Amino acid sequence: MIEHKIGKMPMHLFCNGMAAVQLADIEREDEKNRNIIELIGEHSVDGLERLSRVVQILARQGELMRRREGYEKNEFPDAEWIVLNAKPLDILRLREAAIKAIIEGYTSETSNEDEEDPYLDEYQKKTESH
């Protein structure tokens, strides 16, 4: 999870499965078939609007994860709030934080492949007997 602030509003950017699906939806909107990193890196009004949508998605998932872990509730930033409150330097840092969160989501190890999974073992036994 990547932490970032705009002004006094803390955001915790987290790329989980739900965020990945929503980011893929944004990618499908692009006529040039660019990936999400290219789309949020574009230095234009459209790029800023996409960046703010991506940050909103990642921040929402991060906040939901924090709440699940028992932390105090923070507000969910929305894309419009991000566009209105982000200064030029914030935009650069937000882009970097969003990219880091996305990469972290796709590259983090969630389990050790050497460990046995009892649920997988049970599933395999059931499917083998059919």
| CA–CA distance, 91 with 67 (Å, rounded to integer) | 26
The reply to whether the predicted model has a pTM over 0.75 is yes
Which pLDDT score, from 0 to 100, does residue 57 have?
98
Ordered per-residue pLDDT tens for the chain, 130 residues: 999 899 888 999 999 999 999 999 999 999 999 999 999 999 999 999 999 999 999 999 999 999 999 999 998 999 999 999 999 999 999 999 999 999 999 996 654 455 565 655 665 665 665 5
